[in-house]
Amino acid sequence: MNTNNNLYTVIYTAIIVAVVAAILAFVSQSLKSKQQANEKADTISQMMTASGFGTKADFQKMGNAAVLQKYADEIEKAYTVNVQGDKVADLPLDKVYSPSELKKQNYNIKGSAEPELPVFVFKNGITVVPVYGAGLWGPIWCYIAFEIGQDGTAVIKGAYFDHESETAGLGSRIKDDPAFQAKFQGEIPNFGSENVFAIVKGGSPKNVEGMEIIDNQIDAITGATMTSQGLDAAIDTWLGAYSNHFLKFSAEEE
Amino acid sequence: MDAKLKETILNPIFKGNPITVLVLGICSSLAVTVTLKGALVMALSVIAVCGISSLILSLLRNTIPGRVRIIVQLVVVAMMVILVDQILKSFEATYAIDKQLSVYIGLIITNCIVMGRIEAFALGNKPWPSFLDGVANGAGYGMILIIVAFFRELLGSGTLFGVDILGRLGYVTNNLVILPPFALILLGCIVWVQRSIQKDLQEK
């Protein structure tokens, strides 16, 4: 058979591509539920890591079922708020947001529709909110946990970051470097102002003598300027959208 | 087993090792060798992709139109890489590893070993030897990956497969070992050792 004939070549490639596409679609569909279950447990462990219930490694060892159980034990309520800070609706207690759902809300914050932003509250009073934005190569997102003080001030209890495809060893340090995530602990975002939170080069290091401590600023990652800037913008955008919600806590106390 | 088949299996592991002799696929060997677990999963993934792609393309070899053969190879290899990624994402045990390896699983498609072996071997040989050639080349790659990862995890984190080994002896972890340049230094040492044993590899 002449395999170099034009018609043969066209038909051959068309068949190969169609067969491969069918195999991939079938596998993707049949594995989807398992992948979503893994993703959900992973998201929950990120929220719980940010809230200080354990480390990410602890949750990995526990397995999916135990993570879901622990979350069900600890979560008190989950609801959505609008940018005015008013509650819109209650969320089911087992509801978590996938990155694509956060992406949709990210568009909404930027003005395409009225955002409905999720807030998760644990029984010990810790409030967790997500942040979503663009890194250097792809989306980055995180969960920031707040402790609401006596006077209503929201202090960051912890944060956990994740990304799709930041550079290993550089941008991916937002996820892999516990020291970077620890920098967020104890920071107090300046809700209601234009610059809610800043991640800048040489920004307010803790424990360095002679340096002024700025409550809503941390040091960026060396070698990951674009990822740091993306994270800075994402946090400003999202915490900015949550500002009115958090300001209500301090207004209630006054 | 006849001598030729034996040669097909053993050559890529020692004398014609894709990493240390052909110097193919070294970028991923620098990137995924911080932990043994990651290196092991990566090695198994490459073995699967290499072996099965070679098998499929060897079965199709007489039907593939010569002008589009690279494209057909690419489609088959891409399919295998996506399948491996999807399967790793589906299991609880491998989900975290898949996330850790992130883009590097997807980048197996750009690993020169896979396409190189298909083009050089699978398109001209019967399915069974082609499959063995793919698996052996994947194994040759995986072996170096695991040797590098062994030293990097042991000296960089003081652990092996996440189990504390040197930490309890008071070993202070070395951050340089975690960084990519050290993988290159280790790789250089492995090449050195191999060439001092197999003198015929030394260039005059």
Which of A56, A40, A46 minimizes the C-alpha distance to A93? A40
Query: In the numeric block, which tokens belong to residue A236?
Result: 């400003």
Q: What pLDDT, on a 0 to 100 scale, did the predictor assign at position A85?
A: 87
Rounded-to-integer distance, Cα B171 and Cα B83, Å: 41
CA–CA separation, A175 vs A59, rounded Å?
15
Residue A248, judged by CB atoms within 10 A of its CB (0-12, 13-18, 19+), counts as middle
Helices (H), A63-127: 64-74, 99-107
> For residue B171, is it within any domain?
no
pLDDT in tens, B72-99: 999 999 999 999 999 999 988 888 888 8
**Pick from A135, A132, A131, A163: nearest CA to A145:** A131
- Chain B's closest residue to A29, CA to CA, is B86
Q: Do B63 and A12 touch (CB under 8 A)?
A: yes
Residue B199 lies in a domain: no
pLDDT digits (tens, 9 = 90+) for B167-194: 788 888 887 888 888 889 999 999 899 8
State how far Cα A198 lies from the chain centre: 17
ipTM at complex level: 0.83
H helices within chain A, ranges in order? 6-50, 56-62, 64-74, 99-107, 173-176, 178-182, 225-253
Q: What is the pLDDT of residues A142-172, one digit of tens each?
A: 999 999 888 888 899 999 999 988 877 778 8
- The whole-angstrom separation of Cα B123 and Cα B185 is 35
In this complex, do B86 and A172 lie within 8 Å of one another by their Cβ atoms?
no
User: Average pLDDT in the A203-224 region?
Assistant: 75
Kindly state whether residue B164 falls inside one of the protein's structural domains.
no
Q: How many CA atoms lie within 13 A of B187 on its CB side?
A: 24
Which of the four pLDDT bands, split at 50, 70 and 90, describes residue B53? very high
What pLDDT score was predicted for residue A204? Answer: 66
Min Cα–Cα distance to chain A from B78, Å = 9
Residue B187 lies in a domain: no
Would an 8 Å CB–CB cutoff place B185 in contact with chain A?
A: no
8 A C-beta contact, residue A235 and residue A129: no
* Contact state of A38 with B95 under an 8 Å Cβ cutoff: yes
Q: What mean pLDDT do residues A62-85 have?
A: 90
A169–B179 CB contact, under 8 Å: yes
**Number of helices followed by number of strands (H, E) in chain A:** 7, 8
Q: How many CA atoms lie within 13 A of A106 on its CB side?
A: 20
Q: Is the pLDDT of residue A84 over 80?
A: yes
| Shortest alpha-carbon distance between residue A116 and chain B (Å) | 29
- Domain of residue B35 covers 3-142
**How does DSSP classify residue B107?**
G
- Residue A196, pLDDT > 90, answer no
CA torsion B107→B110→B114→B117, rounded to 10°? -170
Percentage of chain A surpassing pLDDT 70? 95
* Stated length of chain B: 204
Mean pLDDT of B101-105: 78
B188 burial via Cβ count (<10 Å: 0-12, 13-18, 19+): exposed
Question: DSSP characters for B59-96?
Answer: HHTTTS-GGGHHHHHHHHHHHHHHHHHHHHHHSHHHHH
Task: Quote the CA–CA distance of A85 and A89 in Å, as a whole number.
Answer: 12
Q: Indicate whether B7 belongs to any domain.
A: yes
Task: Order the strands of the A154-163 sheet from edge to edge.
Answer: A87-90, A75-81, A117-122, A127-134, A139-148, A154-163
Please tell me which residue of chain B has the smallest CA distance to A9: B65
The answer for residues whose C-beta is within 8 angstroms of residue B11's C-beta and 6 or more apart is B136
Q: Is residue B34 part of a domain?
A: yes
How many domains are contained in chain B?
1
By three-state DSSP, how is residue A133 classified? strand
For residue B200, is it within any domain?
A: no
Which of A147, A145, A116 is closest to A128 using CA atoms?
A145
